Amino acid sequence: MYTDANVQDRLNLPSHGSLFLTFSSIPYFNFLFLFFDFILFRFSQLLQTCEGVVELGYLSS
């Protein structure tokens, strides 16, 4: 039977459960970085596509 202390020991969390220390651990940080990097990359692609469509609209008019 696991107590809170056992769970904290297994996860190597501080006893006060600091969210900053938990989320600054490397796996979380890398995942968030890749996630935001992917979103920014897709957003820049979308902007370029919109610019291309606008330019085609100007050229065709």
What tokens does 11 get? 């996860």
pLDDT at 29: 67
pLDDT at 2: 46
Residue 22: Cβ within 10 Å count: 13
Which residue stretches of the chain have pLDDT < 70?
1-29, 61
User: Domain limits of the chain?
Assistant: 24-61
Q: Tell me how far the alpha carbon of residue 26 is from its chain's centroid.
A: 13
Quick check: 33 and 39 in contact, CB under 8 A? no
Give me the residue label for tokens 């968030």.
32
Rounded to two decimals, the pTM is: 0.39
Phi-psi region of 12 (alpha: psi -120 to 50; beta: other; left: phi over 0): left
